[in-house]
């Protein structure tokens, strides 16, 4: 359905002389060794769910495994720093506070923020405030694709 809408909009815009809608370029993630395998697994899930290219490689957005992550003076489970909607840093608390889910879920959750270029949350799924799901659901793909546009997965 998303692809049909994007294709239809691209055709309409082209007919009006506007540039066609294109999905964003690849999201390259450069994880610390402690989170590399988990990052690779989530990158594959996000790519499959959204049709966007998410890869692990050099020179990309750092995915840092830290003993403590702070945001606005509070210890948090993880955080994604965005500049003008573009991800510049992902931090994962490897010894998260008790209120957090496991750090593996947080890697997937923060990649979702990086893809969407948005710090918001959904009510359900991996992109909820407290994700408790180990897979990217349709609601999570929609969270990203509604913000950046996605090709058909």
Instruction: Render pLDDT for 92-144 as a digit per residue (tens, 0 to 9).
Output: 999 888 888 889 999 999 999 999 999 999 999 999 988 767 899 999 999 99
Q: What is the pLDDT of residues 29-78, one digit of tens each?
A: 999 999 999 999 999 999 999 999 999 999 999 999 999 999 999 999 99
Q: Identify any residues that bridge with 69 across adjacent strands, giving them in sequence order.
A: 76
pLDDT at 134: 84
- Give phi and psi for 98, each to the nearest 5: -55, -30
pLDDT at 78: 95
Confidence band, pLDDT 50/70/90 cuts, at residue 22: low
Q: Where are the alpha helices (DSSP H) in 29-84?
A: 36-50
Neighbouring C-beta atoms of residue 45, cutoff 10 Å:
19
Look at residue 55 and give its three-state secondary structure: strand
Least confident of 22-26, 61-65, 127-131, 145-149: 22-26
Neighbouring C-beta atoms of residue 2, cutoff 10 Å:
17
Contacts of 139 (CB under 8 A, 6+ apart): 122, 124, 125, 127
pLDDT at 48: 96
């Amino acid at each position: 359905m998303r692809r049909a809408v994007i294709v239809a909009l691209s055709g309409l815009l082209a007919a009006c002389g506007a540039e066609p809608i294109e999905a964003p370029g690849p999201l390259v993630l450069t994880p610390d060794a402690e989170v590399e395998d988990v990052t690779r697994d989530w990158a594959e899930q996000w790519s499959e769910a959204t049709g966007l290219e998410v890869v692990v490689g050099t020179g990309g957005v750092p995915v840092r495994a830290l003993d403590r992550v702070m945001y606005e003076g509070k210890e948090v489970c993880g955080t994604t720093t965005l500049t003008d909607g573009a991800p510049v840093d992902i931090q994962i608390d490897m010894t998260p506070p008790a209120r957090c889910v496991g750090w593996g879920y947080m890697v997937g959750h923060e990649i979702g923020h990086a893809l969407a270029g948005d710090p918001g949350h959904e009510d359900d799924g991996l992109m909820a405030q407290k994700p408790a799901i180990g897979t990217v659901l349709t609601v999570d793909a929609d969270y990203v694709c509604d913000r950046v546009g996605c090709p058909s997965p």
